[in-house]
Amino acid sequence: MKQLHKQSSIRRDEELPSSQKSPYSPKAFKPRSLPRSINYLFREQRLLFILVGVLIGSTFFILQPTLSRLGTADPSPTNRATIPRSYDQRRLDSAVYQSRSSAKLVGRVPVAIGRRRLRIVVTGGAGFVGSHLVDKIIDRGDEVIVIDNFFTGRKDNLVHQFSNPRFELIRHDVVEPILLEVDQIYHLACPASPVHYKYNPVKTIKTNVMGTLNMLGLAKRVGAKFLLTSTSEVYGDPLEHPQKETYWGNVNPIGERSCYDEGKRTAETLAMDYHRGAGVEVRIARIFNTYGPRMCLDDGRVVSNFVAQAIRKLPLTVYGDGKQTRSFQYVSDLVEGLVALMEGEHVGPFNLGNPGEFTMLELAEVVKETIDSSAAIEFRPNTADDPHKRKPDISKAKELLNWEPKVSLREGLPVMVSDFRNRILNEDEGKGL
Ligand SMILES: NC(=O)c1ccc[n+]([C@@H]2O[C@H](COP(=O)([O-])OP(=O)(O)OC[C@H]3O[C@@H](n4cnc5c(N)ncnc54)[C@H](O)[C@@H]3O)[C@@H](O)[C@H]2O)c1
């Protein structure tokens, strides 16, 4: 019946002159100019065509907002939503942003070309090492947020960055949690010299344990990479010389230095547990004695002590017999090593230090040569748990990070001396910001 009905309706259409057709009949195609089979499809499969049309239309309206957002909005790091997204998602967003902005800015050279701008936290960034690291990161075109409680850090170390829109400074104690949307965290916050870390040992261990926990928690939450600045002090008074990363150390857990030594050992443990347990991308640097401009003047570390004493025309104080050895790394070498570690693929720990080994008396001689050959040397009893020798084995960093220090003590010391001389002679030192 249905078939018959269809056939009869075809015939009727063909027979009627066009002027007599119903006004409600669909707009006629030109049936005679089309092949019969297409003609049939157009007329008999109208429902199918309508459905296909609806499908195409709805697909377009579903995709349209996404397409228009891609085309117009600015997903630059500064406009990002605060919803935590993974490190990889943010890299992808940014790759899109970079390629589109470079397409728009034909003829202009964007900052950090070929790589998106990262937002990086440096805890302890107002301190000696931190402030040099901040300069390095800003110079290469990335954004920095410094978190510091100014216990040993100074605004003076960062004042030259204050007008830079890619720089932010937050007064904050890492013992308290903080939430920031960032890509990388360099965790340096911790007093580093014996004078400062022994001043309030409970606060020092809290900074190392709770501060590191808070920063690892932040790294986990926002999917950031995390670098811990540990120390050669984790080797204690070493029974192995030079020290390799595989050496587990010889540390007094109840001594005056343990708030720092054991605090850093715990910080390393926490970093590894977050890495293994929560998949946080961590990096661990074990830093050996470092010197350079912006060190605290009177922090009890041997290089800053000798330099400040020689400039002030005071005798250089040598503790013990002066035969204990240390290695001294210039700060720019350390900063290069930290960045290489963060950007590399290896967790570590890595020794970052200069393997050149000096006794305290040899160091005193180099300082005298550089500042004042007539300076006297004064011997004092040694401090508790002072390691007898310290020298890094840096073969792991050489091989896996392609890093090694370049600046010798005789090259680096004069730069530090001129900074110290300016600050000591400047009456405002200590009264400033
Ligand atoms: N300089 C070295 O020779 C050396 C050697 C081994 C390890 N390290 C490590 O490198 C890092 C930096 O050392 P540095 O020599 O620059 O020391 P520093 O004392 O100059 O800097 C430490 C910074 O951390 C800040 N800080 C301390 N406690 C804080 C807290 N609770 N919250 C927020 N900020 C806090 C201080 O104000 C300061 O700005 C430290 O973690 C230190 O243990 C340094």
Distances (CA, A) of 110 to 73, 77, 85, 102, 308: 18, 14, 25, 7, 44
| pLDDT at position 228 over 80 | yes
Q: Is residue 431 part of a domain?
A: no
For residue 154, the ligand 1 atom closest to its alpha carbon is 39
Contacts of 361 (CB under 8 A, 6+ apart): 318, 322, 323, 377
| pLDDT at position 2 over 70 | no
| pLDDT at position 43 over 70 | no
How many other C-beta atoms can be found within 10 angstroms of the C-beta atom of residue 247? 17
The binding-site residues of ligand 1, defined as CB within 6 angstroms of any ligand atom, are 123-124, 126-130, 147-153, 173-175, 188-192, 196, 207, 211, 229, 231, 287, 289-290
Q: What is the CA(432)–ligand 1 centre distance, in A?
A: 20
| pLDDT at position 6 over 80 | no
Predicted local distance difference test score (pLDDT) of residue 325:
87
Predicted local distance difference test score (pLDDT) of residue 272:
97
Whether the CB-CB separation of 311 and 255 falls below 8 Å is answered with no
Q: What is the extent of the structural domain holding 283?
A: 119-291+328-355+388-406
Predicted local distance difference test score (pLDDT) of residue 98:
42
Instruction: Give me the half-sphere count of Cα atoms (radius 13 Å) on the Cβ side of residue 360.
Output: 23
Between residues 190 and 241, the one the model is more confident about: 190
Whether the CB-CB separation of 287 and 353 falls below 8 Å is answered with yes
Q: How many domains does the chain have?
A: 1
The arithmetic mean of pLDDT across residues 153-164, rounded, is 96
Q: What is the CA(60)–ligand 1 centre distance, in A?
A: 56
Instruction: Tell me 404's DSSP state.
Output: -
Ligand 1 pocket test, pick from 128, 235, 333 with the greatest ligand atom count within 8 Å of Cβ, gives 128
Q: Is residue 374 part of a domain?
A: no
Torsions phi, psi for 243 (to 5 deg):
-90, 125
Tokens of 401: 């990070």
Choose the weakest-confidence range: 2-6, 276-280, 302-306: 2-6
| pLDDT at position 116 over 50 | yes
Q: Is residue 360 part of a domain?
A: no
| Residue range 338-356, pLDDT digits in tens | 999 999 999 999 999 999 8
Residue nearest to atom 25 of ligand 1 (CA): 124
Residue nearest to atom 1 of ligand 1 (CA): 290
Q: Is residue 17 part of a domain?
A: no
pLDDT band at 89 (very low <50, low <70, confident <90, very high): very low
Predicted local distance difference test score (pLDDT) of residue 378:
87
Choose the weakest-confidence range: 38-42, 189-193, 392-396: 38-42
Which ranges of 105-208 does DSSP label H, i.e. alpha helix? 128-139, 194-197, 201-206
| Residue range 64-88, pLDDT digits in tens | 544 444 433 333 333 333 333 444 4
What letter represents residue 122's amino acid? Answer: V
Predicted local distance difference test score (pLDDT) of residue 104:
40
| pLDDT at position 372 over 60 | yes
Q: What is the CA(159)–ligand 1 centre distance, in A?
A: 18
Residue nearest to atom 21 of ligand 1 (CA): 127
| pLDDT at position 408 over 50 | yes
Ligand 1 pocket test, pick from 121, 122, 129, 136 with the greatest ligand atom count within 8 Å of Cβ, gives 129
Catalytic residue among 260, 274, 291, 330: 260
| Residue range 94-105, pLDDT digits in tens | 433 343 334 444
Residue nearest to atom 34 of ligand 1 (CA): 148
- The three-state (H, E, C) secondary structure of 323-390, written as one string: CCEEECEEHHHHHHHHHHHHHCCCCCCEEECCCCEEEHHHHHHHHHHHCCCCCCEEEECCCCCCCCCC
DSSP string, 19-67: GGS-TTSPPP--GGGS-HHHHHHHHH-HHHHHHHHHHHHHHHHHHHHHH
For residue 287, the ligand 1 atom closest to its alpha carbon is 6
For residue 296, the ligand 1 atom closest to its alpha carbon is 20
Q: What is the CA(134)–ligand 1 centre distance, in A?
A: 13
Contacts made by residues 8-13, CB under 8 angstroms, sequence distance 24+: none
Distances (CA, A) of 323 to 163, 320, 386: 47, 8, 12
Predicted local distance difference test score (pLDDT) of residue 237:
86
Predicted local distance difference test score (pLDDT) of residue 113:
58
Here the CATH number for the domain that contains residue 128 is 3.40.50.720
Tokens of 359: 């006794």
Residue nearest to atom 12 of ligand 1 (CA): 188
The arithmetic mean of pLDDT across residues 38-60, rounded, is 72
Q: Is residue 46 part of a domain?
A: no
Q: Is residue 317 part of a domain?
A: no
Q: Is residue 170 part of a domain?
A: yes
Ligand 1 pocket test, pick from 121, 133, 146, 152 with the greatest ligand atom count within 8 Å of Cβ, gives 152
- In this prediction the pTM is 0.74
Instruction: Confirm whether 260 is a catalytic residue.
Output: yes
pLDDT band at 108 (very low <50, low <70, confident <90, very high): low
| pLDDT at position 137 over 60 | yes
| Residue range 276-294, pLDDT digits in tens | 999 999 999 999 999 999 9
Q: What is the CA(153)–ligand 1 centre distance, in A?
A: 8
Predicted local distance difference test score (pLDDT) of residue 300:
81
Q: Is residue 103 part of a domain?
A: no
Mean pLDDT of the chain: 81
